Structure 1
Amino acid sequence: MNLSGVLFFPVTPFAADGTLAEQVLAEHIGQGMEHGPGGVFVACGTGEFSALSEAEHGCAVRVAAEVVGGRVPLFAGAGGSLGAALNHARAAREAGADGLLLMPPYLAQGPGHGFKAYVEAVAAELPVIVYQRGTVVLEPDAAVELAGIPGVIGLKDGLGDIDRMQRTVLAIRETHPDFLFFNGLPTAELTMPAYRGIGVELYSSAVFAFAPEIALAYLNGDERLLTEFYAPLVRLRGKVPGYPVSLVKAGVRLRGLDVGAVRPPLVDVTAEHLEELETLIKTGLELAKS
């Protein structure tokens, strides 16, 4: 599957009454598509996957499929219990998604062959990118086994253990040279120099959701953004748990689209931090234009 450039992870908008705001989601994805992302990942981490009901998840994927219209690969989040993950996968397949980002099966943790069976079941429905984070921490030999499952096409790393990831990349590429690897850390641009050093070029860009101009300027080589935008953003992100999502949603609102609040247990950005974010966005946009 051809994935390149900036990968767009849209937020999931909610109306004032807390329901899924379908039209706003369509507008949000449509705005992002105008900037030419290499792929769209709907109802994933930035899209508050864990806060969505199965019905809302299916609705979000249908909306995304209609807007994307096959122009770029479309992936949907899937995970949780096996039954839920299979329902996510089938709904995504029916909506026309091209693949899945498979989240960890939270809390329940079995031996390696148990997780392999979990992945096999979901990958039978649609191509899968396995997300390494939380309870899913893979040794290179275990990752090689997963890469051998029909339908498993990639691994997204949310751990940041460069030594482990380097060994994993080298081990998998011995037998699966076309396997996809992604930097899946929050605000991934800041760590891309390290990931590029071990041969990982793809990354999820949360910034693209609210400032595609900045994300594209960085992709095109503006290294000033690392120190003047991304590093301060990461410092702000670290001030409150859950801010990797809350800040993105706040950024979309600051750029003029009312995508509503985050759902508990996440909390919205404080007034002080919102002002700080607004200043950072202005700085990043000025750099992107210069």
Structure 2
Amino acid sequence: MERKAPAGILGFPVSPFTRENTLDENALAKNIEFLIDEGLDAIFVACGAGEFNSLNRQEYEESVQLAVSVVKGRVPVYTGVGGVISEALEQSKISERLGADGYLILPPYLVDSEQDGLYEYYRVLAQSTSLNTIVYQRGNAVLQLQTLKRLLDIPQVVGLKDGLGNMEMNIEFTQTIGCRLGWLNGMPMAEVTMPSYRPLGYNSYSSAISNYIPHISRMFYNSLINGDKETVHALFQDVVLPINKIRRQKKGYAVSLIKAGMEIVGLPVSNTVRPPVIPVELEHYKQLEKILESTFNKYPLDSKVY
């Protein structure tokens, strides 16, 4: 197994729910296939955007199995594991058994732990299988440099995803550890911060908008890599910052706004979420519609249609 974290634009599919609040497997399969067709570099299923916290064991297993079967080895498939450690260990075993390439270790359930406790949490989960693992820096899971360096002794640990946004800490991490880890930008609406992350060594990010306007994600990232500041600025003004402004209106919009965008462009998902996440309100839904209409007019698809 190649001990390397995926790079590029990372796809985090949502978990589509029916009106009866059950997992819509057909819609999930189509959504994953859409991301693959649009050239995303990895699929992370049953993670934060997939409302990991609300999936029962059967739904989790169905999601992983479906993702692996749809992707068919074309790109790496990662899963989300975390929360209650006994359940996280079951999830890691499911991921290995069903053929995933690795998993993203989400923060532990509620507890604000000492560094030794966080180390043990990540160590136990990373060593529970042979799969690649990426540790997630977010919420109550905030690693110090020495703790992260201890985790480097575990070959399964291949990357760190940052959802914290502490740039001083990111500089310390990347400039001390270097290429031993893959560095993933996991901030909400990661396009907003990617220009600051990339010079530090972060060469991948989770793109929420890639679920419904992946051609914009690709245009943005390619422009950033190629130093096309004019296009980056234009995409910020026309698309990224306006959508981010809506996202910041309500807690939970980091998930539900994705579903709203997908529904607007005609993908098979409804604006249905599970508590405590709330659906996008009508006013904000209409605002997103206008932004997307303007986006497709100014930045049309080359040949593909939704």
* Matching residue within 263, 284, 288 for 2:295: 284
Q: Find the residue that maps to 1:79 and give its secondary structure.
A: strand
Unmatched runs of 5 consecutive residues or more in structure 1: none
d(CA) in 1 for partners of 2:38, 2:98: 23
**1:34 Cα deviation after fit:** 0.7
More moved, 142-151 vs 128-137 = 142-151
Q: Which residue of 2 aligns with 1:252?
A: 262
Q: Which residue of 2 aligns with 1:86?
A: 89
How many residue pairs get aligned? The number is 287
Contact 1:210 1:251 in 2 (8 A): yes
Please report the TM-score for the alignment, with normalisation by the length of structure 2: 0.90
The answer to whether structure 1 residue 145 and structure 2 residue 150 are counterparts is yes
Output the aligned Cα RMSD: 1.4
Contact 1:141 1:171 in 2 (8 A): no
d(CA) in 2 for partners of 1:172, 1:98: 23
* Matching residue within 159, 165, 168 for 2:173: 168
* Matching residue within 92, 102, 106 for 1:103: 106
**1:2 Cα deviation after fit:** 5.9
More moved, 229-238 vs 144-153 = 144-153
Unmatched runs of 5 consecutive residues or more in structure 2: 224-230, 302-306
Q: Which residue of 2 aligns with 1:54?
A: 57
Q: Which residue of 1 aligns with 2:274?
A: 263
Q: Which residue of 1 aligns with 2:38?
A: 35
Change (3 A) 1:135 1:189: same
d(CA) in 2 for partners of 1:116, 1:181: 19
The one-letter amino acid paired with 1:216 is R
Matches within 5 A, 1:106-255: 106-124=109-127, 125=129, 126-173=131-178, 177-221=179-223, 222-223=231-232, 224-255=234-265
**1:283 Cα deviation after fit:** 2.5
d(CA) in 2 for partners of 1:145, 1:232: 41
Contact 1:41 1:75 in 2 (8 A): yes
The answer to whether structure 1 residue 9 and structure 2 residue 12 are counterparts is yes
d(CA) in 1 for partners of 2:247, 2:162: 19
The one-letter amino acid paired with 2:220 is Y
d(CA) in 1 for partners of 2:173, 2:204: 15
